[in-house]
Amino acid sequence: MRDLNYQLKQLCQRNRGGSFATQRDRGRVLDLVANQLRELGYRHMDAASLNPKHVQRLIERRHGN
């Protein structure tokens, strides 16, 4: 498993909040985010290294810019 995916999964397991469905959905979204960042060329990332620029790139990807 990739480092970022694993760290985000561990973060979800340590910080359980909401219903089981909410927890499952949160984990899936974070897994998707980690996979999309890897597709955008970001390698060797940690959960602590996520910045607003990464979020901006994901938004641009979503809107097709």
Instruction: Record the tokens describing residue 58, joined without a space.
Output: 């994901």
What three-state secondary structure class fits 58?
A: helix
Q: What is the pLDDT along the chain (65 residues), one digit of tens a residue?
A: 689 999 999 999 999 999 999 999 999 999 999 999 999 999 999 999 999 999 999 999 999 86
pTM: 0.87
Name every residue whose Cβ is closer than 8 Å to that of residue 20 and which is 6 or more positions away in sequence: none
d(CA 58, CA 30): 12
d(CA 29, CA 53): 18
- What amino acid is encoded at 46 in this protein? D
pLDDT for residue 1: 63
